Amino acid sequence: MSHRATGYLLPVVLVVFVYLQSASAQQPPPGYQLLTAPQASGGLLFTQRQAVASAVQLLHQGFQEIAPFFDHRPEALGAYADDRDQYAQAGFLAASRQTVLNGVAFAVVTGGGGTVGFAFDSPQTLRQSLPKLLRLIGGPTSASQSACPPPPQRWQVHPFPDGSGQIQLPEGWRITSAQQGIVSAGGPQGMINRGQQVTLMTRAGAAQSNTGVPFPVVDPTDSVTPLLAAWAYAAAFNQQQGLPSLRVRRVLAVAPAEPLAGFLHHALVDLEVDTPMGTYHALSHILVSDIMPGGLYLYHESNGMAPVACFNAHLPTLLQILGSAQTASHVVRERFERARRSQQEAHDIWWDATRNRNRSLDQIADDWTETRRGTRVVEDTQTRTRYDTNLAYSADLVRELNRQEGRDRYREIPLRDLNR
């Protein structure tokens, strides 16, 4: 494990099939306690040590000590340590009785002693159970986080202004934008963005166009390349509108996951972001769709971010906010109707419905998830194939495709006409 701040990865939205055994069915390693929270699955292994100077060494030792509790030694997916080596944190992947588990490990050194803990649960429910598990021992803290705003105490449900859903926000937070289930919000502990979407085009698709391309042009060779293009595009657009811009300072780490059907890439990406308020640490869940006719594809992202020094302290709050977001039932019904004509949309609806039912991300996506909102159906009238495209660019897409064909082969189908 590195002593440098290589980025903290929280694998909360890896999509795998699991059947979680009861955490209490196994004995904790010698010297460790196994704690569970009411109305929460998973568990928390923790212990305290005397005469400890390095949080990184304590965490490394902890990974070795808890190995017998799992089927094999947990695999660290990313790590973070403060400059004084008094706080260290890592995401990890493990298995228990052939059941996949995700978790968060932390080590805190104070007053010559140290505490090390390992919170774990199924990939689908870790985000809901993590705050409850951490509260069992007061949560990981560090001296460097003492100036950060305290965890929120009072929460309230806020409906989206357009009626497309709702989200639970702590005191001092407010919704900054919301449309068709896409929502952004900010407050003392940072900011969240859920369900953001950008249409991108491959270089081959752009080469076929002779009238200019209204989309960022980049090939989806990996998960990070579209991310950087989408962030740069959004920053340039905001700058043109005289709005504050967020720009990626650097990518800290990437945790790829098995792509969903209809997608090329699925990953968690750890970032540092330049904002008008200073440098923020962000955790993004991204999905990159398959390439559609004309070389177009969709980039989806949900993220939470906070000032670098406070990211670890505020992460449970950010995850709780993202996990509380729900899409309104009428929006889900509309998308189910469209799903009859688009297999790819069906996967998105399943993803949303599962997240809403379990109060989880896109996720991340969202999760958290990782969702399709603000889209319009475009139909190939020759093959009767239908695709979901970004509503903001659907008209441009149809014009460009028809120009390439030399005839009106493609058409938009507004939602109000879809089920006639």
pLDDT 10s digits, 179-234 = 877 889 988 889 999 888 888 989 998 888 766 677 889 999 998 999 999 999 98
For residue 277, give the H/E element and its range: none
Name the DSSP letter for residue 398: H
If phi > 0 it is left, if psi is from -120 to 50 it is alpha, else beta; for residue 44 that is beta
The set of residues, in sequence order, having a beta carbon less than 8 Å from that of 399 and lying 6+ positions away, is: none
Which is more confident, 315 or 212?
315
pLDDT at 229: 94
Among 32-46, 262-276, 347-361, which stretch is predicted with the lowest mean pLDDT? Answer: 347-361
Among 12-16, 68-72, 151-155, 402-406, which stretch is predicted with the lowest mean pLDDT? Answer: 12-16
pLDDT at 120 over 50: yes
* 321-342 mean pLDDT: 60
Angle at 101 between CA 97 and CA 107, to 5 degrees: 115
Confidence of residue 418 (pLDDT cuts 50, 70, 90): low
Which is more confident, 45 or 343?
45
Where helices occur in 160-310 by DSSP H, the ranges are 203-207, 224-240
Strands (DSSP E) contained in 57-125 are 75-81, 87-96, 99-110, 113-121
pLDDT at 360 over 50: no
Q: Rounded CA gap, 216 and 209, in Å?
A: 13
Beta bridge partners of 360: none
Token digits of residue 292: 């559609």
pLDDT at 291 over 70: yes
Can you give the pTM of this predicted structure? 0.50
pLDDT at 390: 66
pLDDT at 365: 36
Q: How many CB atoms within 10 Å of residue 55? A: 26
The set of residues, in sequence order, having a beta carbon less than 8 Å from that of 221 and lying 6+ positions away, is: none
Q: Rounded CA gap, 82 and 3, in Å?
A: 9
* 49-63 mean pLDDT: 90
For residue 399, give the H/E element and its range: helix 394-405
Among 3-17, 45-59, 131-145, 342-356, which stretch is predicted with the lowest mean pLDDT? Answer: 3-17
Percentage, residues of the chain above pLDDT 90 = 14
Confidence of residue 31 (pLDDT cuts 50, 70, 90): very high
Which is more confident, 347 or 50?
50
* CA torsion through residues 169, 170, 175, 176, sign: negative
Confidence of residue 330 (pLDDT cuts 50, 70, 90): low
| Cis peptide bond upstream of 368, omega within 30 | yes
pLDDT at 67 over 70: yes
Mean of all residue pLDDT scores within the chain? 75
Name the DSSP letter for residue 23: G
pLDDT at 70 over 50: yes
Closest of 10, 5, 4 to residue 283, by C-alpha: 10
Amino acid at 288: V
pLDDT at 141 over 70: no
